């Protein structure tokens, strides 16, 4: 992959877009490559053109897909969408740790940091990607992890703030019904709290546009390979989709 010359430019761009220190911008670029671009590349290296036929072809033919190129693009897009959502959630967690100056303790808590204005106070966060990504069992696990970590810190005479952070999709903050001592933070409030930048979540969305070159640089060759394999198996001479071969893939 030949993205190395673009790294300093990407870091400079993110420094301007996010309003963070240049050193932090470099770490965010590296985290995007580590947690988004590389895993997507790894997924594609394991995929063959024949594997695309494992998805029900009617999903695509019923929507008017008639060419092999269009079919490959749609199948790959569906596969990437489900994968990239999880990868982006992992990256955003890492961004929160980078900009907050905090770390992930070995206690089931996702983020711990000293309060920026009062070092005697420790902030603990359980993090989820969106409002609907945790079931009741997972939420109880997060709450128990926060309470257990807080108990250890309080035994050392530290004051502790307990938070559940929703990275995207929650508009307001409110106490947790099951425990009013735990605050469920709205997405914008969480990002402003850990970054010190008022509109950081919107800025982070804008930052993914220039960062997309890292994904493109890593996946283009694999996509071309998969397309060639699929076309040889399921494409007609005129580029049309060979439905007979697709329905009963050749052994």
- DSSP characters for 15-76? HHHH---HHHHHHHHHHHIIIIIHHHHHHHHT--TGGGGGS-THHHHTTT--BHHHHHHHHH
Task: Identify the residue with better confidence: 2 or 187.
Answer: 187
> For 18-62, how does the pLDDT look when each residue is reduced to its tens digit (9 = 90+)?
999 999 999 999 999 999 999 999 999 999 999 999 999 999 999
Note whether 241 and 67 are within 8 A (CB).
yes
User: Pairing between strand 174-176 and 159-166?
Assistant: unpaired
> For 206-235, how does the pLDDT look when each residue is reduced to its tens digit (9 = 90+)?
999 999 999 999 999 999 999 999 999 999
pLDDT of 213: 95
pLDDT of 205: 97
- 92: domain range? 4-247
> For 69-98, how does the pLDDT look when each residue is reduced to its tens digit (9 = 90+)?
999 999 999 988 888 999 999 999 999 999
Look at the chain and report how many structural domains it folds into. Answer: 1
Phi, psi of 105 (to 5 degrees): -75, 165
Note whether 68 and 52 are within 8 A (CB).
no
Strand partners, 179: 176
pLDDT of 134: 83
- Count other Cβ atoms within 10 Å, centred on residue 128: 22
Mean model confidence pLDDT for the chain = 93
């Amino acid at each position: 992959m030949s993205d190395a010359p673009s790294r300093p430019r990407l870091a400079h761009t993110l420094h301007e877009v996010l309003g963070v220190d240049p050193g932090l911008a470099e770490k965010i670029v590296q985290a995007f490559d580590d947690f988004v671009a590389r895993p997507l590349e790894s997924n594609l290296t394991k995929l063959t053109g024949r594997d695309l036929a494992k998805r029900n072809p009617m999903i695509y033919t019923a929507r008017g897909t008639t060419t092999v190129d269009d079919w490959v693009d749609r199948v790959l897009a569906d596969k990437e969408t489900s994968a990239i959502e999880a990868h982006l959630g992992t990256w955003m967690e890492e961004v929160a740790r980078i900009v907050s100056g905090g770390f992930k303790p070995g206690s089931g808590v996702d983020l711990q940091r000293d309060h920026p204005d009062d070092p005697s106070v420790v902030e603990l966060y359980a993090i989820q990607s969106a409002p609907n990504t945790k079931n009741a069992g997972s939420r109880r696990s997060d709450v128990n992890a926060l309470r257990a970590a807080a108990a250890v810190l309080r035994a050392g005479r530290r004051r502790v703030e307990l938070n559940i952070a929703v990275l995207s999709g929650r508009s307001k903050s409110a106490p947790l019904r099951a425990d009013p001592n735990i605050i469920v933070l709205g997405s914008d409030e969480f990002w402003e709290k850990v970054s010190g930048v008022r509109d950081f979540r919107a800025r982070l969305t804008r930052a993914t546009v220039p960062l997309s070159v890292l994904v493109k640089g890593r996946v283009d060759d694999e996509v071309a390979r998969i397309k060639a394999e699929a076309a040889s198996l399921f494409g007609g001479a005129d580029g049309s989709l060979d439905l007979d071969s697709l329905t009963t893939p050749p052994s």
